[in-house]
Structure 1
């Protein structure tokens, strides 16, 4: 048997081909390493900018937490460069309806009735939702006419419901049987309730719907007050906003008779030490937002909720 031999020309060609393959593999390896390094650098840069954005958000939060700072003041927004800024918004937690207070006091049930009516619930549906909420927080297992106790939850396969204690969060309200009725007509209902305030409605910051329900006045009257609060620029949270300091002032602004206002005065206020603050820091396209619930006094600052996004 004869063995074929490669000519010098063929051997040189094979060596060249092997060299080219080796060079290609090395090139791919170098390219891959460069790509990995580039990705890591991008990730490091992103982390640095996100950290800086969080620092800016914390700066806005610190300013908004100061006892002397008020909603709409220009100090709540700051631009350090075209790429770095923070924007803080603060509002009174008492602008929301304290659900536990309304369910514990029969005098405040009409506030819920009027609010749900404004949102589009029919009278029968209003009774169902409120009775179901009340059965959730009462201390017994006796079902209200339109409510829901353990037997009704059991039919849905839910055990240990209701807990028969006050709501610990607004989100917990969504667990109540029949709350789907409210969800259908007002998907953002959560933005109107709280479990933290003392139960009085802050008329300097509440929405027109909440003011109408709390004061038993028309939605038009409440909207008129909100327009006056917003000042000449017709925008909330700006320096020209009007803050009322006397309940009689706001009674006149609402167009209410003294006798009619007396019946609601115990349910309203013009100031609250409990603030909901949202502060956003931005660095180019990167941003971080801090949302907190804080009680502010001359001596102390106490945080109840803290959420970073």
Structure 2
């Protein structure tokens, strides 16, 4: 039986080999895409895990800053600690043993993974928005740069918001105004439960609430707004001069920046005890005392404090912040109570 031999031309053989090579290349390309996608997914997952770990570390560092501030606030009211500090000169105390000043100046706390910047503000370093008099309120709003009708609208509207009646002042607002808004709501006609309520009041803009820029030391610009000046936890309309921030003193007391700097420097040595002590150590204030003296107290009455804690990594980058309002009470089981807690303020 004759077998028929099959002969392939060189062209046919090259064509078959080309198809096989092309299929191999497609398979390699497909596998490469799969490998790349897998590597990209793994890299993304590692990055997310690392970011989560760093954020968690920063959060715990910020919490540590809050805890340290609470301890310092308890120390300020502990008779034993205070007695020790009084018997020793300021130079004899270690830096970590010195009393913290609650005027918002930053204190640094170091960790292996980074550092934490802590600010403590006594609520008596602010003015109580629910009890401030109309005259002082008008002065404060004017010192923030508002004039004429714009100032009067803000002042009258705040007074109308917190008073119990529906009678509005000349430039104020009551229910008829707020009900006419595109998104209507009622006038409070009562004390504010939170400072953020001010944003509902006629004439108050986010810029006025959050802060306008003012030049401070070394031409640095800082923001000062209603949220920095007022509080619902302050004891009244008088400022504790040992707790008020420099900008708040400028706006509320109406004294020049140079005078504020002298006060801030003097109270770093020790708190002012009374008006005589203040004028003895800062005699330049004498011409201003007649007008501003009635708005000053020399000790903290309110047990409420605001703590801001901002943690940053050792190499910079991410930051995590906390803001809390605490009530210090040595008679309480824990000696303190958290009133408000806000995450991620930075």
Q: Does 1:204 align with 2:242?
A: yes
Q: TM-score, normalised by structure 1?
A: 0.80
* Contact in 1 for aligned 2:140/2:251 (Cα 8 Å): yes
Residues 1:308 and 2:338 are matched in the alignment: no
Q: List runs of 5+ in structure 1 lacking aligned partners.
A: 103-107
Q: Which protein has greater RCO, CA pairs closer than 8 Å, 6+ apart?
A: 1
Which residue among 270, 273, 276 is the counterpart of 2:299?
Answer: 270
Q: Which of residues 216, 219, 222 in structure 1 aligns to 2:255?
A: 219
Partner residue of 1:190? 227
How many angstroms apart in 2 are the aligned matches of 1:308 and 1:144? 39
Compared with structure 1, are the counterparts of its residues 55 and 21 closer, same or farther at alpha carbon in structure 2 (3 Å cutoff)? same
* CA separation of 1:277 and 1:182: change in aligned 2, threshold 3 A: closer
Who is 2:31 aligned against?
26
Pair 1:297 & 2:329 matched: yes
Count how many residue pairs are aligned between Structure 1 and Structure 2. 288
Deviation at 1:166, TM superposition (A): 1.2
Conserved 8 A contact 1:111-1:213: no
Query: Contact between 1:129 and 1:182, CA under 8 Å: does it hold in 2?
Result: no
- Do the aligned partners of 1:113 and 1:126 also contact (CA within 8 Å) in 2? yes
Structure 1 residues 88 and 203 mapped into 2: Cα distance closer, same or farther (>3 Å)? same
Match of 2:168 among 122, 125, 143: 143
User: Contact 1:60/1:76 (CA < 8 Å) preserved in 2?
Assistant: no
Q: 1:250 Cα shift?
A: 2.5
- Structure 2 distance, partners of 1:45, 1:305, is 30
My pick for the range that moved more, 47-56 or 277-286, is 277-286
Shift in alpha-carbon separation, 1:125–1:37, aligned structure 2, 3 A = closer
Cα distance, 1:12 vs. partner? 2.2
Give the match for residue 55 of structure 2.
50
Q: Relative to structure 1, is the Cα distance of residues 205 and 263 closer, same or farther in structure 2, using a 3 angstrom cutoff?
A: closer
DSSP-derived class of the 1:276 partner: strand
The alpha-carbon deviation at position 228 of structure 1 amounts to 3.0
Shift of 1:91: 1.5
Once structures 1 and 2 are overlaid, which stretch shifts more, 116-125 or 166-175? 116-125
Cα distance in 1, alignment partners of residues 12 and 250 from structure 2: 101
Structure 2 match to 1:243: 271
Deviates more, 1:202-211 or 1:89-98: 202-211
Post-superposition shift, 1:178? 2.5
Kindly provide the CA deviation profile for residues 7-37 of structure 1, in whole angstroms up to 9, marking residues without a partner as x.
Answer: 3332222112101110111011111101110
Distance 1:174 1:56, change over 3 A: same
Q: Is the Cα contact below 8 Å between 1:128 and 1:147 reproduced in 2?
A: yes
The answer as to whether partners of 1:128 and 1:178 remain within 8 angstroms in 2 is yes
| Separation (CA, whole Å) in 2 of partners of 1:91 and 1:276 | 5
Match of 2:311 among 272, 281, 289: 281
More off after superposition, 33-42 vs 63-72: 63-72
Deviation at 1:55, TM superposition (A): 1.1
- C-alpha RMSD of the superposition: 3.3
How far the C-alpha of 1:113 sits from its partner, in A, is: 1.8
Equivalent position of 2:128 in the other structure: 98
Given the two structures, how large is their TM-score scaled by the length of structure 2? 0.72
**1:78: which partner in 2?**
109
Partner of 1:111: 136
SS at match of 2:170: coil
Alpha-carbon offset, residue 147 of structure 1: 1.5
Contact residue 59 and residue 311 of structure 2 kept, 8 A: yes
